[in-house]
Structure 1
Amino acid sequence: MRVLRELLRRPVSLFGTVVIAIVLTLALCAPWLAPYAPDDQLFEGLSLEGAPLPPSAQFWLGTDTLGRDLLSRVMYGARTSLLIGLVANGMAVTFGLLVGMTAGYARGWLGAVLMSFTDLMMAFPALLLAIVLAALLRPSLWIVALVIALVNWVQVARIAFTETSALVERDFILAERSLGAGHARVVGLHIAPHLISTAIVWGTLGIATTVLLEATLSFLGIGVQPPQPSWGNIIFESQSYFTSAPWLVFFPGIAILLTALSFNLVGDALRDILDPTQRGRD
């Protein structure tokens, strides 16, 4: 509750929290709130020349080139983009914490191997690596989530390694080990709880990166495949109509921008709130 109160007291994080709440509500309630099904091709959604219709009282965000309601597709696209963001980032944070804690606690040759592998992965451009992996595998929602997780765990692993390496030298850890505590007890009761705030902060910040990366892969045609809507493939399908029907690109682009910005704002605020070294610096 203290964290929530701190978030709501800060105007910037309050804005991010409200936007995230709205996007989550629209995504979860899309089957009931969307005026049409995302794949319904509506005859009245096209002009006499077969062109998409601009925003109007009937179609609030206009229609796309097949006469589908853009508002409905953006709302259903939020479900896809946020699902990938949560799943992919959850896997990335979990794997990164496991690698970082193992390397920081075990040290020796095992720690050196794990962190060398982490540094090797960090040397590859994340977007390029994601494009290669997505191109090699058959694109689908879960494959895209897996690909994004495989390129986003390294930063979490490096931070978890640094924090774990410092913790194992603390007096309370040395005292616990001198009393005969096993590795599982030390890690589970004394190290892992200290990394919860790190997991929360990076879990929030990482969703913004994940949403952007998913949109990029879908825009390039190697992410979520039509007819399943995502914000990235909505823009991909409409890119050639950017000048004649700019609303087809503008509205999903705004959704990506606001969502990524909001998660970044909330993540930055959580880092300040949960990190004791940041308190009193505002």
Structure 2
Amino acid sequence: MRVLKEICRQPTALFGLAVVVIVIVMAIAAPLIAPFNPDEQMFDGLTLEGAPMPPGGQFLLGTDTLGRDLFSRMLFGARTSLIIGLVANGIAVTIGLFVGITAGYLRGWAGNLLMRFTDLMMAFPALLLAIVLAALLKPSLWIVAMVIALVNWVQVARIVYTETRGLVERDFILAERSLGAGHGRILFLHILPHLMPTAIVWGTLGIATTVLLEATLSFLGIGVQPPAPSWGNIIFESQSYFQAAPWLVFFPGAVILVTALAFNLVGDALRDILDPTQRGRG
């Protein structure tokens, strides 16, 4: 409740939260809101010359190159993009937490080995690695989510490792050890709760990155495969019609931009609220 009140006091964060809620609600209610089946190719969805219909009339945002309603495909595409964003980012944060906590708590050769592997992954271009993994595996919604998770966990691991190293030297942790507390008790009752604000912030900020990466992979043709709609492959399918039918690229591109911005605004606000070291900084 306190977090929500703090967000409501910040106009930019409130705008971001409103956009996120609207996108999520529209994605969940897509079967009820969409005026047409997203895969239905309609005879009146193309002009006599076979070109897409412009926005207006029964087609709110126009139609695509196959005569399918663009608004309906974008609604269902929101489901795909958000599912990948939430699943991939959830897996990435989980992996990052596990690696960071393990390396920071154990230290020694095991911690060094984990962090050198993390450094190696950070040095490798994330987009290139995602392209290689997506090309090797048969692209599907869950494969794309897994690929994105495998390239996005490293930043979380590095941050969690640094914070864990500081926590294990705190007096309350040393006191627990002196009282004979086991590793499980220290990790789950004392260290992990202190890391949850960081996980929440990075989880929120990472959704924007994940949505953008999914759109990039789909745009390159190695993400979610047609006819399943996603914002990225809608642009991919329509890129050759950019000049003749610019709405096919503009509308999904604008939605990707606004959604990523909204998640970033919410994530920045959560960082200021949950991280006491950020308070008072402007």
After superposition, the C-alpha distances for 1:26-59 in whole angstroms (9 at most, x for unaligned) are 1000000000010011111111111100001211
Is the partner of 1:68 in helix, strand or coil? coil
- Aligned-partner residue type, residue 13 of structure 1: A
Name the residue aligned to 1:191: 191
Q: What 5-or-longer segments of structure 1 have no aligned partner?
A: none
Compute the displacement of 1:183 (Å).
0.1
- 2:219 match: 219
Deviation at 1:281, TM superposition (A): 2.6
Distance 2:272 2:278 in 1: 5
Q: 1:213, CA displacement in angstroms?
A: 0.2
Aligned to 1:25: 25
Rounded to whole Å, the distance in 2 between the matches of 1:281 and 1:225 is 44
**TM alignment of 1:190-209, pairs within 5 A:** 190-209=190-209
> 1:29 and 1:265 mapped to 2: Cα distance?
24
Match of 1:158 in 2: 158
Q: Which amino acid letter does the alignment assign opposite residue 83 of structure 1? A: I
Over aligned residue pairs, what C-alpha RMSD do you find? 0.6
C-alpha distance in 1 between matches for 2:100 and 2:124: 19
Name the counterpart of 1:67: 67
Q: How does 1:21-60 map to 2 (within 5 A)?
A: 21-60=21-60
Query: TM-score, with normalisation over the residues of structure 1?
Result: 0.99
Say if 2:113 is the partner of 1:113: yes
Report what 1:247 is aligned to. 247
What residue number does 2:136 align with? 136
1:10 alignment partner in structure 2: 10
Structure 2 unmatched runs, 5+: none
Q: How does 1:223-238 map to 2 (within 5 A)?
A: 223-238=223-238
Distance in 2, Cα, partners of 1:72 & 1:116: 46
Distance in structure 2 (CA, Å) of the matches to 1:68 and 1:185? 56
> What's the TM-score once normalised by structure 2's chain length?
0.99
Letter matched to residue 137 of structure 1: L
How many residues of Structure 1 are paired with residues of Structure 2 in the alignment? 282
SS in 2 for 1:55: coil
Secondary structure of 2:101 counterpart: helix
| Cα distance in structure 2, aligned partners of 1:65 and 1:187 | 55
1:79 equivalent in structure 2: 79
Q: Distance between the aligned counterparts of 2:272 and 2:141, measured in 1?
A: 33
How far does residue 247 in structure 1 lie from its aligned partner after superposition? 0.4
Residue matched to 2:122? 122
Cα distance in 2 for residues equivalent to 1:278 and 1:95: 25
Displacement of 1:280:
2.3
Secondary structure of the structure 2 residue equivalent to 1:224: coil
Name the residue aligned to 1:279: 279
**CA apart distance, 1:60:** 0.7
TM-aligned CA deviation for residue 277 of structure 1 = 1.2
Q: Counterpart in 2 of 1:95? A: 95
How far residue 9 of structure 1 moved from its aligned partner, in angstroms, is 1.1
